[in-house]
Amino acid sequence: MSDADRQRWDARHGAVGAAGAAGAMPPDALRGREHLLPGGGRALDVACGRGGVAVWLAGRGFAVDAVDVSEVGLAAGAALAADAGAAGRVRWWAHDLDAGLPQGCAGPYDVVVCQRFREPALYPLLAGLLAPGGLLVVTVLSEVDEGPGPFRAAAGELLAAFGGLAVVDHRERDGEASLLARRG
């Protein structure tokens, strides 16, 4: 990722005031299906942004590694975790995901979340970090019902990329694709 991209994300996160920031929340693909979440363990939140999902996972008993390129977003996440009493359950990693994951983010993880960040080169790594029975939660922009774009997944991309996992749910519509899958 270029410095310009990092600065753009820092500016974007910095422009969101505390009043406009979302709080702790489940990943989009898991909403209404929270019962699929394991009872605890380790979790990885890839491209965590302002940390809402990481803090939500920490509130459910997970020790969370949260990774993002934006230090401004990570600072907002750390503040959210502190306010929620979860500061000690989340490790915040400033890292360019175009270079993979930080070395300290080694699996296995009971939950791996990647929401609104698409980097197909990371797909095998994300699947490989799952513990047996671990849950993968991925949501990306999609060409389905929207048309092509540089950040949009082609139809069927997630199913093809994570075919070695047991698919729990897969949806593609309205410009979004999501996948819930478990490692056998």
Q: What is the pLDDT of residues 127-158, one digit of tens each?
A: 999 999 999 999 999 999 988 888 899 999 99
Q: Which two tokens stand for residue 117?
A: 């960040």
Per-residue model confidence (pLDDT) at position 24: 86
What is the pTM (predicted TM-score) of this model? 0.89
The tally of domains found in the chain comes to 1
CATH number for the domain including 92?
A: 3.40.50.150
Buried b (16+ CB within 10 A) or exposed e, 26-36: bbebbeeeeee
For 13-60, what is each residue's pLDDT tens digit? 455 655 445 678 999 999 999 999 999 999 999 999 999 999 999 999
Domain that holds residue 170: 3-182
Query: What does the alpha-carbon distance between residue 173 and residue 183 come to, in Å, rounded to a whole number?
Result: 25
Backbone φ and ψ for 133, nearest 5 degrees, come out as 80, -5
**33, 180 Cβ separation under 8 angstroms:** yes
Residue 144 burial (CB count, 10 A): 19
Per-residue model confidence (pLDDT) at position 23: 76
Confidence of residue 184 (pLDDT cuts 50, 70, 90): confident
For 83-137, what is each residue's pLDDT tens digit? 999 999 999 999 988 888 999 999 899 999 999 999 999 999 999 999 999 999 9
Q: Which two tokens stand for residue 155?
A: 């139809």
Work out the average pLDDT over 148-176: 93
